[in-house]
Amino acid sequence: MNANLTQMALQLSMQDMFSSSWFSNALMSKVWTEMMRSSVTGLIRNTGGADLVGAALGGRLRGDAAMLRQASSNVSEAQSMMHVAAEAVGNIAGQLKEAHKLANEYLALGLDDASMRAALQAQYESISKNIDCIIKSTMYNGIALLDGRAWKGDERLSVIGDATDPAAASAHIQAGDSSFPLTFSNMIPEFFDIVSKSKYALDNDDVLTALSSLQSSAQSLADLYVGRAGSLRSQATSLQSQANILDEAAAQRARTPAPVSPENVLLNLILRDSGSMFSSKG
């Protein structure tokens, strides 16, 4: 893997560690802390009525559930973006594998096979154009995912590196009152119009090595995107599950005639669905 994609792999890895930690700790810890803090005691003292306290607690639980549900929706959108990018880059890796086969056939031909060489050259150029088309057309809701030339002026993205030739760009995904980055690599410098680059010329003795390296880089990037998409899917599911737990806690609190502490309501739900609320993988 070249230096650019190695850096990309590190960025994605750090993002995944960051967002996993944020989802499993910061968001639910904040919900929990805010819900359990001493303001409940203040409500009891100021209102003097358990029913009013129950209503306040139920409202807070429902509000927190709504926040988590919106966060889950946003993370699902992020997962969809990464899935689209993963499929596109995987397709490029497949195209490069075909290009490698053509190059191998081309080099095996003798100099007298001019017509066959011309046919293979035409197929090779077609593959290069297919790759260019994938790079230019891979978008999600108008956001270019692979074409760094399209990132200039897009306020939804934060460009990484030189603005005229960026290495990558990040979309910031809102979840609760914070956000996390979703980064995509610019594939233009390495993968666009390969047919015009001398090291990928079919009559270059080293073309097989060059194409093999490029195909490996594309596959590695596709695998990184697939892993990131899978992680985001798990996080979205976990957030939705947490929202459901808080909704149920609010409903149980409303149905309970006698005052019951929110700690006991949530504890019963957590023990019933052990791991749902504080999944370290979510």
d(CA 47, CA 28): 28
Q: How many CB atoms lie within 10 A of CB 102?
A: 20
Q: How many CB atoms lie within 10 A of CB 138?
A: 21
d(CA 227, CA 239): 19
Predicted pLDDT at 245? 78
Q: What's the start-to-end Cα distance of the chain, in Å? A: 29
Predicted pLDDT at 248? 77
- pLDDT per residue as tens digits for the range 117-140: 999 999 999 999 999 999 999 999
Phi, psi (degrees; rounded to nearest 5) at 155: -70, -10
User: Which H/E stretch holds residue 160?
Assistant: strand 157-160
Predicted pLDDT at 117? 93
Q: How many CB atoms lie within 10 A of CB 74?
A: 18
Instruction: Find where tokens 């209102």 sit.
Output: 47
Q: DSSP secondary-structure letter at 35?
A: H
| Distant-in-sequence, close-in-space partners of 263: CB < 8 Å, separation ≥ 6 | 36
Instruction: Yes or no: say if 184 and 145 are a contact pair by the CB < 8 Å rule.
Output: yes
Would you call 57 helix, strand, or coil by DSSP? Answer: helix
Helical H runs in the chain? Answer: 3-21, 28-36, 39-47, 50-108, 114-137, 188-191, 207-255, 262-272
One-letter identity of residue 114: A
Q: Which residues pair with 175 in a beta bridge?
A: 178
The edge-to-edge listing of strands for the beta sheet with 178-185 is: 157-160, 168-175, 178-185
Structure tokens, 47: 């209102």
Structure tokens, 225: 């995107």
Q: Where are the domains of the chain?
A: 3-272
d(CA 218, CA 102): 18
Predicted pLDDT at 280? 41
Predicted pLDDT at 168? 94
Mean pLDDT in consecutive groups of 10 residues from the start of the chain, 282 residues = 48 49 49 42 42 55 81 92 97 98 93 89 97 98 96 92 89 83 95 96 95 96 95 88 78 61 55 45 42
CATH class of 3-272: mainly alpha
Predicted pLDDT at 227? 94
